[in-house]
């Protein structure tokens, strides 16, 4: 029986996606729930599992194709048997026009081992033919790993005197991923639509650091997660947003929308770019809940497993440039939100206390806000409220 493989349901905010890499070729046996292909949206990479055991008899859409929710991309025959030995049909050819010339060169070198779809895409982008790569797959097939290795070896070859052309410097043109293009679009949107202003303050992190040192071991034993800094920053932000709800609001046309909940987006770096998973109802979360969720999101971002739902929404954001060593920055608002908190590296710095210069672990906070609806008073007082909560962390419940 033939079973259709279709594009999973995309979120309302995502109209289309791109087929990135087929993990199977026509004629291959597949198992139920085995990932067939990675599908990239402007937010996440989705895995598409096989709906049943059988043989992948037809691939309708190839790597690089743009697809929409529910669109047919392949067919599985539950009664067929997998082809033995060599593949019974050619791998899915790439469809992007700019890669036509490299593709032709690659196909002409089939004797050297036809590349897998993922490998073919990499080779085309690098301008390398399959004949130039020694395949380690079945029947001499060039695998994705082979293609990646060939790409790494390319600079050494280019450095040979016979290849270098006087006066020329090497450069490489790579198209943006769908996620990177979406990030660029939203940043420009934020810059053009929001009246962005940033206010700064400094925080003495000594009380938080002392609390972590005193209760860190007990906290980890009680909750199964390390007591980090982000839990404190999130709880401090929640305290400020409750006191000044305008910081948690958004603009919709000529209306100001006040949200009766606090969903905080945490900016996380991933191999595909910056993503912002959401802490739902952060005002109802304990420090332990926050730390557990952030650790979970960090691992999912690394593995490319974040779902559309986990990345959708948010009423306020926190960006932590401190993990990369940033001293100071002006974060950009994530529309339709109206404010974002930037936190930075905590460093020992000289400060004045009671007429004396002392050394304290200082973190500079930056609050960027939409001046169309947030006045300087609320922005400054909101940041001061965060500062006060961090410098007196006994206010924040640790649940231990």
379 near 199, Cβ under 8 Å? yes
Left if phi > 0, otherwise alpha if psi is -120 to 50, otherwise beta: which for 325?
Answer: left
Nearest to 272 by CA among 309, 240, 311: 311
Distance CA 162, CA 354 (A): 70
Please confirm, yes or no, whether 371 is among the known catalytic residues: yes
Tokens of 348: 């020992």
DSSP label at residue 66? E
Beta bridge partner(s), residue 335: none
Q: Distance between CA atoms of 103 and 129, rounded to whole angstroms?
A: 8
Contact of 131 with 112, CB cutoff 8 Å: yes
Cα–Cα distance, 120 to 91 (Å, whole number): 9
The burial of 1, by beta-carbon neighbours within 10 Å (0-12 exposed, 13-18 middle, 19 or more buried), is given as exposed
Residue holding tokens 């046309």? 253
Residue pair 366/317 in contact (Cβ under 8 Å)? The answer is no
Long-range (24+ apart) CB contacts under 8 A made by 210-217 are 211/393, 211/394, 211/398, 215/398, 215/400
If one counts every other C-beta atom within 10 angstroms of the C-beta of residue 282, the result is 25
Tokens 């007990």 — which residue? 218
- Three-state SS string over 249-270 comes to CEEECCEEECCCCCCEEECEEE
- What contacts 303, CB < 8 A, 6 or more positions away? none
Residue tagged active-site, from 281, 375, 392, 399: 375
Task: Report the distance separating Cα 89 and Cα 114, nearest Å.
Answer: 11
CB 290 within 8 A of CB 279: yes
Query: Cα 283 from chain centroid?
Result: 24
- 375 assigned to active site: yes
Active site members: 371, 375
């Amino acid at each position: 029986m033939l079973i259709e493989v279709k594009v999973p349901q995309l979120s309302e905010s995502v109209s289309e996606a791109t087929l990135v890499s087929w993990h199977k070729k026509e004629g291959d046996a597949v198992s139920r729930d085995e990932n067939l292909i990675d599908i990239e949206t402007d937010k996440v990479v989705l895995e598409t599992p096989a709906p049943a055991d059988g043989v992948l008899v037809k691939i309708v859409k190839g790597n690089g194709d743009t697809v929409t929710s529910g669109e047919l991309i392949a067919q599985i025959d539950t009664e067929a048997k997998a082809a033995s030995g060599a593949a019974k049909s050619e791998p899915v050819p790439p469809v992007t026009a700019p890669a036509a010339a490299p593709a032709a060169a690659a196909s002409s070198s089939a004797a050297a081992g036809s590349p897998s779809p993922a490998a073919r895409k990499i080779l085309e982008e690098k301008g390398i033919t399959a004949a130039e790569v020694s395949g380690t797959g079945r029947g001499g097939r060039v695998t994705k790993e082979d293609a990646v290795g060939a790409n790494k070896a390319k600079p050494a070859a280019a450095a040979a005197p016979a290849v270098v052309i006087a006066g020329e410097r090497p450069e490489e043109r790579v198209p943006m991923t769908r996620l990177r293009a979406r990030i660029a679009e939203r940043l420009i949107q934020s810059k053009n639509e929001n009246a962005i202003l940033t206010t700064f303050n400094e925080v003495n992190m000594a009380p938080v650091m002392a609390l972590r040192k005193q209760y860190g071991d007990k906290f980890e034993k009680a909750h199964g997660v390390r007591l980090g800094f982000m839990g404190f920053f999130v709880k401090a932000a929640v305290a400020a947003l409750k006191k000044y709800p305008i910081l948690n609001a958004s603009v919709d046309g000529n209306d100001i929308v006040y949200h009766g909940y606090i969903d905080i987006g945490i900016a996380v770096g991933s191999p595909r770019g910056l993503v912002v998973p959401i802490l739902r109802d952060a005002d109802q979360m304990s420090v332990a809940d926050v730390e557990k969720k952030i650790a979970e999101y960090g691992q999912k971002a690394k593995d490319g497993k974040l779902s559309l739902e986990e990345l959708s929404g948010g009423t306020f954001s926190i960006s932590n440039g401190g993990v990369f060593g940033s001293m100071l920055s002006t974060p950009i608002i994530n529309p339709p939100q109206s404010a974002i908190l930037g936190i930075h590296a905590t460093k020992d710095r000289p400060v004045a206390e009671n007429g004396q210069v002392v050394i304290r672990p200082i973190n500079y906070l930056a609050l960027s806000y939409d001046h169309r609806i947030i006045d300087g008073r609320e922005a400054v007082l909101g940041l001061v409220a965060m500062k006060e909560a961090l410098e007196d962390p006994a206010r924040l419940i640790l649940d231990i």
